[in-house]
Amino acid sequence: MTTMTNGQILRVGLVGAGQISGAYLRTFPRLPNVRVTAIADLDKARAAEAADEVPGARAMAPDELYAAEDVDLVLNLTIPAAHAEVAHAAIAAGKHVYGEKPLTATTADARTLLEAADLAGVRVGCAPDTVLGTGVQTARAVLDSGEIGAPVAASAFMVTPGHERWHPAPEFYYRPGGGPLLDMGPYYLTALVTLLGPVRRVVGMSSSPRSTRIIGSGPRAGTEFAVEVATHVTGVLEHENGALSTLLMSFDVWAGALPRIEVYGTGGSLSVPDPNGFDGEVRLFRAGSKEWEHVAERGGYPGAARGYGVADLARALAEGGPHRADGRLAYHVLDIMESLLAAARSGDSATVTSTCDRPAAVPAGARPEEH
């Protein structure tokens, strides 16, 4: 198990040098407590190409990366179906793990993963870390100040015609572990839990209007493939504090003008920016007002980008405290999504059996290596 003290650098081995890896590799050079030392991919040429762009990093096979002495944390950027396998291999080697969302394909896999990490004495982190930026954290500060009174309800909407229009190999979005809820839901649900706390019960409905999709770009454009998951999911979440959130996630809507997230309280309303981003405008409507007002930044890591969750984990290791983009938060979000899909199949409400701590707020102007 790796331990750290203030001033030490968390050495990261990246597994899965696909499309999302570039976002992380662009961020890490400006994080003083994180350094990439190794990159692995099933495609050796792709790993080598990525490593060439990172000073001091070297390409290697996944098994070599897990065993490497200069890797403290494995950054798991593989496809969702491989998340559990890669994470278990890293944990077995005594490494901390930070993964892309969802944590695993199922809650059963997630429980096993967290139990293995506890036994090994290592930490598990998971995207999204977008909630650590100034957008959601400013909204969190407004809620915590009581300016909209007690939260009553919230709404969260993500609609798109589908990722096959732009992704050259989109099939995994439409297989188990994919779909709009498991793909984009973690951003919205992590934001809702950060803002309103954990969820205890859900109801929902879902549909798959089209049985096949057609790749719209890249060398395989025109290729038809099967849809294996629900592509339109809607539901209501009952938070432990009594607030009710309405959720809509769809790959079947050509356009929509609905707000990304709004929170409604006894004393006003709050407009929250897109949780797939780190910043954005927060707006507040107070009871008795005639118009919305802009809210200046009150919290969050300024200029945050993908990878700040890893830096926050490195900070927590050095301080000996909790990290915010935590595996148990990701497990609870996965449990919410799985419960919502189960409720949609059964037609009944479903109890969310897990819970989690509401992550600590990020102070205004914070730096991930210090707060």
For 272, phi then psi, to 5°, come to -110, 135
Question: Given this model, what pLDDT does residue 116 score?
Answer: 98
Superfamily of domain 10-126: NAD(P)-binding Rossmann-like Domain (3.40.50.720)
The pair of three-digit structure tokens given for residue 187, joined into one six-digit string? 């951003």
Q: Can you give the length of the chain in residues?
A: 371
Question: Given this model, what pLDDT does residue 7 score?
Answer: 63
- If you compute the radius of gyration of the chain from its CA atoms, what whole number of angstroms results? 20
What are the sequence ranges of the domains in the chain?
A: 10-126, 131-301+333-351
Question: Given this model, what pLDDT does residue 2 score?
Answer: 55
Give the amino acid at 340. Answer: L
Question: Given this model, what pLDDT does residue 259 score?
Answer: 86
This prediction's pTM: 0.94
36 strand-pairing partners: 12
224 strand-pairing partners: 214
Question: Given this model, what pLDDT does residue 81 score?
Answer: 85
**DSSP assignment, residue 78?**
S
State the DSSP string of 145-177.
HTTT-SEEEEEEEEE-S-GGGT-SSGGGGGSTT
d(Cα 287, Cα 91) in Å, to the nearest integer? 50
> Of the candidates 249, 295, 246, which has an alpha carbon nearest to the alpha carbon of residue 268?
295
**DSSP assignment, residue 363?**
B
Long-range contacts of 50-53 (CB under 8 A, 24+ apart): 50/14, 50/17, 50/21, 50/25, 53/25
- Report residues of the chain scoring pLDDT below 50: none
Give the amino acid at 157. Answer: F
- Under a CB-based contact definition with an 8 Å cutoff, are residues 151 and 365 in contact? no
pLDDT digits (tens, 9 = 90+) for 87-104: 999 999 999 999 999 999
> Of the candidates 366, 79, 371, 356, which has an alpha carbon nearest to the alpha carbon of residue 190?
356
d(Cα 87, Cα 96) in Å, to the nearest integer? 9
Question: Given this model, what pLDDT does residue 105 score?
Answer: 86
> Of the candidates 129, 143, 45, 208, which has an alpha carbon nearest to the alpha carbon of residue 368?
129
- Under a CB-based contact definition with an 8 Å cutoff, are residues 282 and 139 in contact? yes
Q: Taking the domain 131-301+333-351, which CATH number applies?
A: 3.30.360.10
| Residue with tokens 């990304």, as numbered in its chain | 260
d(Cα 198, Cα 205) in Å, to the nearest integer? 21
